[in-house]
Amino acid sequence: MIKVAMTSVYVDDVAKAHAFYTEVLGFETRSHMDLGGGTLFVTVGAREGAQPDLQLLLEPGQGPIAEPYRRAVHEAGLPCIVFSVDDIQGEYERLCDLGVRFTHPPQEQGPVLAAVFDDTVGNLVQLVQPKG
């Protein structure tokens, strides 16, 4: 069986992204390595053993491919990644209290409730909660 082990999100500042994804969103650091020359290899994942084998790589988003791609996705208003939550309203309120800027609050979208926020490092991120 093939499983997802790691996926990445382009960010415009790896250190700032690491702080946001751990201190604000609540992920834990899985790896944090200095590869030299100012390059960091940083992965985060869900806390408390949830999905222990799945990591999110905070990928430097500069360069001739990453920068235009990241900018175009953001300008189109498209989330680069989707996270699931059990209580979207509670998470929305918690994140708002921490100063996170949402582009739209929780609302029905087909089979889910969804909200979108700016991750402060060049991306829109969607939160979803299944309805029911």
Residue corresponding to tokens 């791609």: 69
1 within a domain of the structure (yes/no): no
| Residue 18 falls inside a structural domain | yes
What CATH number is given to the structural domain containing 66? 3.10.180.10
Q: Is 53 a member of any domain?
A: yes
Q: How far is CA 63 from CA 33, 44, 60, in A?
A: 21, 23, 9
43 and 55 Cβ atoms separated by less than 8 Å: yes
**Inside any domain, residue 42:** yes
- What does the block give as tokens for 18? 């690491």
Quick: pLDDT tens for 84-120.
999 999 999 999 999 999 999 999 999 999 999 999 9
| 35 in a structural domain | yes
Helix, strand, or coil here: 86? coil
pLDDT in tens, 5-64: 999 999 999 999 999 999 999 999 999 999 888 888 999 999 877 777 899 999 998 889
The verdict on residue 28 lying in a domain is yes
pTM value is: 0.91
Whether 66 is covered by a domain: the verdict is yes
C-alpha 11/C-alpha 121 separation (Å) is 5
Whether 17 maps to a domain, the answer reads yes
- Domain span at 17: 6-130
Q: How many domains are contained in the chain?
A: 1
Q: Which helix (H) or strand (E) holds 126?
A: strand 124-130
Strands 81-84 and 124-130: parallel
Read off the DSSP letter of residue 101.
P
**pLDDT number for residue 52:** 75
Tokens of 48: 């408390």
